[in-house]
Structure 1
Amino acid sequence: MTVPRTADPDRLARAYYDALDAGDYDRLADLLSPEFVQRRPDRTFEGRDRFVAFMRDERPMTDTTHAVDAVYPKGPGVAVRGRLLDADGDEVFAFVDVFSVDDGRLAALETYAASSDE
């Protein structure tokens, strides 16, 4: 699926979680700019190919769902507040993702996360 370059930040962010949860890594790659960077508390991924490879082949939990609780689409990007749920629907952690958007694609992602134990 090709993502239209006119896609708004809210739709791009929701499509990101849909593709990730469905394991649709071709669609995920299409949503991201080639220079995509994700920064999160435990590591940084530089480049779309590296990020998609990690999500497809290396992440420790793949049977998860992103529950999006709120989307804040105003500004140059979009912020999303949500929870990562395991296969049983239990919360693994809460997160806030802040996406930068450039030329109709997700260009960067800053992830802030807290475990459900905190």
Structure 2
Amino acid sequence: MTPTDAEAKARAYYDAIDSGDYDRLAALLRPEFVHYRPDRTLEGRDAFVRFMRDERPMTDTTHAVDGVYPEGIGVAVRGRLRGPDGEDLFAFVDVFGFEDGAVAALETYTETLDD
């Protein structure tokens, strides 16, 4: 996978979540996908998509991507999660790992933004 392909897939991941296109989101992920986040670990593509669709506290958020840094077989993304009124809720860095052209793992780091 080229750095350009990795960047495109990372951006497609956020687009799918923000638009509520969960079939597209599932197509980007390997079946054994794992998401490591500060509050929990989600194991398996189906569990992750179900969480994003049905269980996350806020579904009307958007991701503002500030920078994408492809390196080797992965990519890191720096950005902010925005609430329904456009306010920044927190900053994040996501580190994507790919296998066979699909997202195999994602590790999220978050930082609270000062007012």
Structure-2-length-normalised TM-score: 0.95
Show the 5 A alignment for 1:1-118: 8-117=5-114
C-alpha displacement at 1:75, in angstroms?
A: 1.6
In 2: Cα distance, 1:91 partner to 1:75 partner: 30
Letter of the structure 1 residue corresponding to residue 36 of structure 2: R
Letter of the structure 2 residue corresponding to residue 65 of structure 1: T
Letter of the structure 1 residue corresponding to residue 13 of structure 2: Y
C-alpha displacement at 1:117, in angstroms?
A: 3.4
Structure-1-length-normalised TM-score: 0.92
C-alpha displacement at 1:72, in angstroms?
A: 0.2
Q: How many residues align?
A: 114
C-alpha displacement at 1:66, in angstroms?
A: 0.1
Q: Which runs of 4+ in 1 moved over 2 A?
A: none
Letter of the structure 2 residue corresponding to residue 82 of structure 1: G
Unaligned runs of 5+ in 2: none
Letter of the structure 2 residue corresponding to residue 17 of structure 1: Y
Cα deviation 1:51-97 (Å, max 9, x = unaligned): 00000000000110000000001221000000000011100000000
- Helix, strand or coil at the partner of 1:29: helix
In 2: Cα distance, 1:100 partner to 1:63 partner: 26
Indicate the percent of aligned positions where both proteins have the same amino acid: 70
Cα deviation 1:24-58 (Å, max 9, x = unaligned): 00000000000000001100000000000000000
